[in-house]
Chain A
Amino acid sequence: MANVALRNVNKRFGHVEAVRGLSLAINHGEFVVLLGPSGAGKTTTLRLITGLERPDAGSISINGRDVTGDPPGSRDIAFVFQQYSLYPHLTVYDNLAFPLRSPARRIPETVIRKRVEQTAELLQIASKLGNRATRLSGGEMQRVAIGRALVRDPAIYLMDEPLSSLDAKLRAELRLELKRIQVELGATILYVTHDQVEAMTMASRIGVIKGGELLQVGTPREIYENPGDRYVAGRLGTPQINFLPAGLIPEVAMPAGTETIGIRTEHLRIAKANGGAITGRVHRIERLGDQNHVYLEYRGQTLVTLADPHQPLEAGQDVELQLVNPLYFDAAGRRLMATVH
C-alpha cells in the first residue's frame, strides 16, 4: 500500500474541462471518497490515476514515483467498476483467481488458492466458491467483483460507484462491510460516488468535487460542520441545510458582507410563538417514524426543521424560530467566519 498524489492535474475533452487544477494526496491506509454529481469529473480523476487517460497538465505519483507517463499495466492499481463485470462462464473461485493467474505474475497455484480463500472468507462468500458467477445474488456478485480487486495487493484500490446498482438494504450492508474490510486490510482506497450517505459513512476524508474542481477536502465531520462554501454546505445533510437571505433575519449580528445565512435542520429550533421577531408558520409535517420533518414558512421562504414525532405540532400553527450556530456566506457563496456571537 502506498501514497498517491495528484498535483495540479488538468484534463480537457474538446472544449469541456473535465478536471481543473486538481491536487489531492491520498495517504497510506486512507479511505478517500470523491463526492460529486454526474459530470463533476470523478470518473475522469480515477481514469487519470489508472493511466487510461493522460493529463494535459500536472503530475501523478504513486509512492513518490512519478507515474504520469507510465502505461496502466505498470501502475499497480486495482479498479472496481459500477457493474459487476464477472466472467459468467467461470466459478466464483476462478473469477477471484483470475487476476493472480496472469502469466506475467507467475504465482504458484497453492499461493493463489490461499489468497482466494482468505479473500472469500473476508467477504463472507467462502461457501459460494464453487458456484457459477451467474448463480449469485446481486450482492454476492458485487462482493466477488470487489474480491477480485482484493486478491491482489495493489498500491491503491479505485472504486467507481461500486454499490450503486444494489438495492437500499444491500447497499447499507455492503457499506458497513467494505469499511470493515478496508480497516482490516489497512487498504488505501479512492472511491467515487454521488451518494452523500456513502461518503459520510465510509470516508476517512471526503473531497467534494464540482465542475472538475475540488472544492473542499476534509473528514466527514469537518465537511458537515465546517463547510468552506455554500455549495459544500448544501451537499451534505438530509434534509438539506436551510438558506435564508441575510436581510430577512433582524437582530442577529453577522459578519460584514453576509448575503446568505445557512442553518442546518437540527440547528433550527422551534418553540411556542410569543410575539418574537422571528416567527414562522408550520406549513406541513412529514412523518418518518423516528422523527418528523417540519416545513415552516418564514417571510415567503420555506425552512425545514426536525422534531420529535410525539411533539404536538400542527399545520397552520405559529412558532418562534431560534437559529443555533448559523453559517454565514457572502455574495459569491464563500463562507464568512463569525467574529461576533
Chain B
Amino acid sequence: MAQIRVEHLRKSFDRFTAVQDSNFTIESGSFFALLGPSGCGKTTTLRMIAGLELPTGGRILLDGEDVTFRRAAARDIAFVFQLFALYPHMDVEQNIGFPLKCQGMPRREVRERVGETARLLRIEHLLSGRTSKLSGGDRQRVALGRAMVRRPKAFLMDEPLGALDAEFRQLMCGELRELHDRIAATTIYVTHDQHEAMSMADHIAVMNTGRIEQIGSPQEIYDRPASMFVADFIGSPPMNFLRFESGLQAGDRAVRFRDTSVPVPEIHEERAAGPLVLGVRPEHVMFADGAPMRGRVFGAEYLGTTQIVTVDTEQGRIKARMSSRIPVQVGETLGLAFRSERLALFDAQTGLAIQTASYGGASHG
C-alpha cells in the first residue's frame, strides 16, 4: 500500500474552477475522507487521483512517484463506484476473480489470489454461492474483494453507500471500517454524509467551492472547526451561530455579547470592533434559571437518551441537546447558559475561526 501526495492540485473546466489549490498527504494505510456538499470539488479531486481527469495544474505523487499524467490503468489504483453492484450471473468466486481473468492471468493463479482475498475478508464459505443470496454486508465484502484482488496501491471510493437507507448505511460504515482495519489499504473516500466521514476516516478534508476548508482528525474538525462552513457542515443539529458586534483583546477570557459578558476560552488575537459570531454546539447549551439569555421553548424532540430542545431567543433560534430526563414544556420561558470552555468565535465577514486557547493550531486549508 502506498502514500498519496497531492501538491497544488487545480482543475478548471472553461471558466469554472472545480478545484482551486489542494494540498494533502495521505499516509500509507490511512483512511482519508473528502467531505463536502455537491459541487464542492471532491469527486473531481478523486477523479484526478484516479487518472480519469487530467489536472489543470499541480502534481499527484503515488509513493513519491509522479503519476500526474499517467493513464488510469497504469496507476495501480482501484476505483470502487458502488459497493453493492455485483455481476448477478456469476458466483462469488467468479465475481472476485473477474478483474484478473480480464488481465489474462492463468486460472490456477486466479484461484489462488481469490482464495487469499476471500480469507482476508472472511468470505471463503461464500465462494461457490450465488451473489443474489448474499446479505448486504457480504455483498460489500465481495465488491471490495473484487477491487482488492488486483492488489492495488490504493482504493478510491465515491459515495459507495449513497444508495442505502440511513440505518443500514450506519451498519455498513462499521463493517467497512473493520475491513479497513484488517487490510490496512490506503483509502480515499468521497462523501457528502458527515456521519460516514466522521465514523470511518482517520482524517477528513472538508471541501467547499473547490477549496479545502480544513483537514484534520474527525474530533479535531468537530471540536475546532476552522470556519463557519465547517462548523455548520459537521454536527447534527449543526453548531448554533450567535451574531454580535465587539472588539477583542488577546488574553480576554470573556466577550461582551450584547448586554452580557459571556466567558470564552482565552482569546489569542487582537481585533478592532466588528461583527463576530459566537459558535455553540447544541450539547454545550444548558438551562440555567438565572441566566441573562432568555428564550421560549419552540419544540422538544425526544430521541431516547437525549432530546433536542429548540429555543427561540432574541439572538435567534438555538438548538440544545441534553438528557431526555430534563423536563421541558413547549412554550415555557427559560434561561440559557453555555459550556464556556467549548465555545468557538468566528469573524462574521471572513467566516474564519478566531484563535483561542481551545484552538491551538487548527489549520486553515
Contacts and interface: CB of A to CB of B under 8 A. Distances in A.
Contacts of B282: 290
B307 to A, nearest CB: 9
Interface stretch (B16-24, B72-80, B258-266, B296-304): B296-304
B177 A284 contact: yes
A175 B301 contact: yes
Interface in A190-237: 195, 197, 200-202, 220-221, 224, 236-237
Contact of B199 (A175, A180, A286): A286
Contacts of B174: 284, 286, 295
A266 interface: yes
A119 interface: no
A237 B305 CA distance: 8
Nearest to B299: A176
B91 to A, nearest CB: 29
Contacts of A224: 302, 304
Contact of B181 (A168, A284, A290): A284
A289 B198 contact: yes
A288 B204 CA distance: 13
A201 B310 CA distance: 12
A264 B195 CA distance: 21
Contacts of B321: 290
A264 B303 CA distance: 13
A239 to B, nearest CB: 8
Contacts of A289: 198, 218-219, 222-223, 234-235
B178 interface: yes
A119 B45 CA distance: 46
Nearest to A287: B218
B330 interface: yes
A139 interface: no
Contacts of A175: 301
Given A176-B298, A238-B170, A287 B199 contact: yes
Contacts of B218: 287, 289
21 contacts: A197-B303, A200-B302, A200-B304, A201-B301, A221-B324, A236-B304, A238-B167, A238-B304, A239-B170, A266-B305, A284-B174, A286-B174, A286-B177, A286-B198, A289-B222, A289-B234, A289-B235, A290-B222, A290-B281, A290-B321, A309-B222
Interface of B: 166-167, 170, 173-174, 177-178, 181, 195, 198-199, 217-219, 222-223, 234-237, 281-283, 298-299, 301-305, 308, 310, 321, 324, 330
